[in-house]
């Protein structure tokens, strides 16, 4: 039977689902319902007339593993290869990552030399923690916080500095609340299957699918303009939508609540329990090359400055997006996340000037930059990153069971469920589409 499918939400997940649905001869019509004036969701680029580009949302994807390959396949199917700005493995932005600890920038140890020597901010060689890890007994919990898991297996220093920072740089979240099972499933599975992260990674390494390119930037605006836009009134309900054989849902739970019938209350309660954090994203442009170091950027552990997550040195990986003519430096300061309210108060009451001042102060103190930016843009991205807290996996199981038991014509996909990265979300769009129509 030919299907008419409604896709709710024109973020990258919804667009990916549309792409895969559109390849099936069994789908006669796809209706993409997007409430805002544009598609793309959090993918959002500011393009100035002088050629400068600033990202308010994601700026890169790592084309590693199955989800990375899937993204590259979709890019190729859409004929967008020429839009990719590759950042190769030997590029300085791929090799140099920094941590800002105790008032100083530290290059993250890398390569064999970096692992066997003691490199600040760490007090002993990382190899020591890695070798000990193999001997640590397997945990027994169904789930554990990322911080507890890493402290137990690799020691508190790596948990407090490296993993705390990484969780801020990916989830804008608190490693003490985030679930290892849902946020880092490979680590969790490695311990379960091999009894050790190190052994799990080594034994699985034969299957590595990494290509020569470490990171790519896709001109996200192109994704966003491929599909036309239409809108969904917020009172739209499943009952009113009887014309559609199926729904794929790609947006966060507060919005989903408005389209579900009251009878789906238990599902709504689970959806509401998935927390979201707000991030302030401040794009800055400086005259000349002002950085004391080169690399992708630096992260700040929560013990150093809870409200300041990190700084991306956009000009280093993507100099093509500097304005034409004249040397400039583009930076993005990310703030808030799980610490937004304690740092800035309620997102509705903070002023853009406060956020700009805080961001430029960080550039001055972390990077020793004394000049003022010649251009800036302050974005307040309310509820932009879902937080997979402890027990997230159980919540997902419950929700999907409810949908199945009640025969709801609904598929949950997108960043709130099975991975927050652009790659994960594109993959979830494909999986949702294939769940409805079979493999394309
Ligand atoms: C600041 C920031 C930086 C990031 N950096 C990276 C990065 O470098 N690399 C990476 O891999 N990932 C990154 N991410 C994560 C990634 O961008 C997101 O997880 C992903 O874009 C989410 O896509 P989505 O389709 O699930 O949801 P969304 O982008 O939220 O899309 C949902 C869509 O649904 C629409 N909608 C909502 N309600 C309704 C309604 N009632 N009716 C109709 N439409 C509705 C919305 O308008 C929106 O367009 C970043 C995220 C942020 C916020
Ligand atoms: C959901 C939001 C995401 C943000 N960034 C990413 C996602 C999915 C992607 C991402 N961010 C980092 C990595 C690298 C992990 C690794 O393999 O080492 C990935 C895949 C880390 C990172 N993020 C930022 C910086 C400066 C770094 C460190 C540099 C590096 O390791 O390469 C900037 C940044 N991005 C996001 C936030 C909240 C943030 C805060 C500073 C969103």
pLDDT of res. 252: 46
- Listed residue (389, 32, 88) closest to 223, CA to CA: 32
Average pLDDT over residues 346-369: 98
User: What pLDDT is stored for residue 222 in this prediction?
Assistant: 35
Going by CA atoms, what residue is nearest to atom 19 of ligand 1? 420
What is the reported pLDDT for 387? 98
Instruction: State residue 208's pLDDT score.
Output: 41
pTM for the model: 0.92
87 lines ligand 2 (CB under 6 A): no
Which ligand 1 atom lies nearest to the CA of residue 424? 11
348-352 contacts at long range (C-beta below 8 A, 24 or more positions apart): 350/280, 350/380, 352/378, 352/380
Atom of ligand 2 nearest to the CA of 298: 26
Nearest ligand 1 atom to alpha carbon 42 = 29
Number of CB atoms found within 10 A of residue 172's CB: 25
Structure confidence at residue 4 (pLDDT): 85
Q: Which residue has the tokens 């997006």?
A: 321
Distances (CA, A) of 2 to 196, 239, 244: 48, 20, 11
**8 in contact with ligand 1, CB cutoff 6 A:** yes
Residue 250: the pLDDT is 55
Give residue 96's pLDDT: 93
11 Cα–ligand 1 center, Å: 5
267 vs 360 pLDDT, higher one = 360
Question: From the centroid of its chain, how far is CA 105?
Answer: 24
Positions of CATH 3.90.660.20 in the chain: 275-386
**Residue with tokens 């001109």, as numbered in its chain:** 219
Mean pLDDT of the chain: 87
Mean pLDDT along residues 374-378: 98
Q: Is the CB of 105 under 6 A from ligand 2?
A: no
Q: What is 122-211's CATH number?
A: 1.10.3110.10
d(CA 114, CA 110): 5
The lowest-confidence range among 18-32, 144-158, 197-211 is 197-211
Mean per-residue pLDDT, 178-206: 88
pLDDT at 253 over 90: no
* Predicted confidence band of residue 254 (pLDDT cuts 50, 70, 90): low
> 235: pLDDT confidence band, cut at 50, 70 and 90?
very low
Give pLDDT, residue 266: 86
CB 9 less than 6 A from any atom of ligand 1: yes
Q: Which tens digit of pLDDT belongs to each residue from 291-317?
A: 999 999 999 999 999 999 999 999 999
Is residue 238 over pLDDT 70?
A: no
Report phi then psi at 266, rounded to 5.
Answer: -60, -35
pLDDT at 215 over 60: no
Question: CATH assignment of 3-47+60-84+220-274+388-437?
Answer: 3.50.50.60
pLDDT higher at 362 or 250: 362
Over 60: is that where the pLDDT of 147 sits? yes
CATH 1.10.3110.10 domain span(s) along the chain: 122-211
pLDDT attached to residue 172? 98
Cα separation, 369 vs 355, whole angstroms: 18
% of the chain at pLDDT higher than 70: 87
> How far is ligand 1, taken at its centre, from the CA of residue 160, in Å?
29
59 lines ligand 1 (CB under 6 A): yes
Q: What is the pLDDT of residue 169?
A: 98
Q: What are residue 100's DSSP bridge partners?
A: 105
pLDDT on residue 226: 26
SS in 3 state form for the chain? CCEEEEEECCEHHHHHHHHHHCCCCCEEEEEEECCCCCCECCCCEEECCCCCEEECCCCCECCCHHHHHHHHHHHHHCCCHHHCEEEECCCHHHHCEEEEECCEEEECCCHHHHHHCCCCCCCCCHHHHHHHHHHCCCCCCCCCEHHHHHHHHHCHHHHHHHHHHHHHHHHCCCCCCEEHHHHCHHHHHHHHHHCCHHHHHHHHHHHCCCCCEEEEECCHHHHHHHCCCCCCCCCCCCCCCCCCCEEEECCCHHHHHCCCCHHHHHHHHHHHCCCEEEEEEEEEEEECCCCCCCCCEEECCCCCCCCEEEEECCCCCCHHHCCCCCCEEEEEEEEEECCHHHHHCCCCCCCHHHHHHHHHHHHHHHHCCCCCCCEEEEEEEEEEEECCECCHHHHHHHHHHHHHHCCCCEEECCCCCCCCCHHHHHHHHHHHHHHHHCCC
Confidence at residue 228, expressed as pLDDT on a 0 to 100 scale: 26
Q: Taking residues 117-129, report their average pLDDT.
A: 89
Cβ of 421 closer than 6 Å to ligand 1, yes or no, is yes
> Per-residue pLDDT for 227 more than 70?
no
Q: Is pLDDT above 50 for 346?
A: yes
| CATH hierarchy code of domain 275-386 | 3.90.660.20
Give the least confident one: 37-46, 58-67, 80-89, 108-117. Answer: 108-117
- Centroid of ligand 1 to alpha carbon of 58 (angstroms): 9
């Amino acid at each position: 039977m030919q299907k008419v499918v409604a896709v709710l939400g024109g973020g990258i997940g919804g667009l990916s689902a549309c792409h895969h649905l559109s390849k099936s001869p069994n789908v006669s019509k796809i209706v993409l319902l997007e409430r805002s004036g544009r598609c793309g969701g959090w993918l959002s680029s500011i393009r100035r007339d002088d050629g400068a580009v600033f990202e308010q949302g994601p700026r890169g994807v790592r084309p590693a593993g199955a989800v990375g390959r899937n993204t590259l396949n979709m890019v190729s199917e859409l004929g967008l290869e020429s839009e990719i700005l590759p950042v190769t493995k030997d590029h300085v932005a791929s090799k140099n990552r920094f941590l800002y600890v105790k008032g100083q920038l530290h290059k993250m140890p890398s390569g064999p030399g970096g692992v066997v020597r003691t490199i600040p901010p760490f007090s002993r060689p990382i190899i020591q923690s890695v070798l000990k890890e193999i001997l640590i007994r397997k945990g027994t919990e169904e789930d554990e916080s990322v911080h507890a898991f890493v402290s137990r297996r690799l020691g508190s220093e790596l948990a407090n500095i490296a993993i705390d920072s990484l969780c801020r740089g990916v989830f804008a979240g608190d490693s003490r609340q985030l679930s290892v099972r849902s946020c880092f499933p490979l680590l969790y599975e490695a311990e379960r299957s091999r009894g050790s992260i190190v052994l799990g990674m080594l034994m699985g390494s034969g299957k590595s699918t990494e290509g020569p390119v470490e990171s790519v930037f896709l001109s996200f605006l192109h994704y966003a303009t491929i599909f036309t836009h239409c809108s969904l009134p917020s009172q739209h309900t499943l009952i009113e939508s009887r014309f559609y054989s199926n729904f794929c849902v790609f947006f966060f739970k507060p919005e989903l609540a408005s389209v579900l019938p009251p009878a789906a209350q238990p599902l709504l309660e689970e959806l509401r329990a998935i927390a979201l954090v707000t991030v302030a994203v401040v794009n800055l442009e400086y005259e000349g090359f002002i950085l004391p170091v080169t690399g992708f950027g630096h992260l700040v552990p929560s013990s150093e400055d809870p409200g300041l997550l990190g700084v991306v040195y956009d000009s280093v990986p993507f100099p093509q997006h500097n304005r034409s003519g004249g040397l400039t430096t583009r930076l993005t300061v990310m703030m808030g996340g799980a610490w937004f309210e304690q740092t800035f108060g309620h997102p509705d009451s903070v002023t853009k000037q406060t956020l700009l001042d805080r961001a430029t102060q960080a550039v001055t103190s972390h990077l020793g930059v004394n000049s003022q930016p010649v251009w800036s843009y302050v974005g307040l991205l309310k509820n932009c990153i879902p937080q997979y807290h402890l027990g997230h996996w159980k919540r997902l199981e419950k929700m999907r069971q409810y949908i199945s038991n009640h025969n709801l014509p609904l598929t949950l996909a997108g960043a709130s469920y099975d991975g927050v990265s652009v790659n994960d979300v594109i993959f979830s769009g494909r999986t949702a589409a294939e769940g409805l129509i079979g493999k394309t």
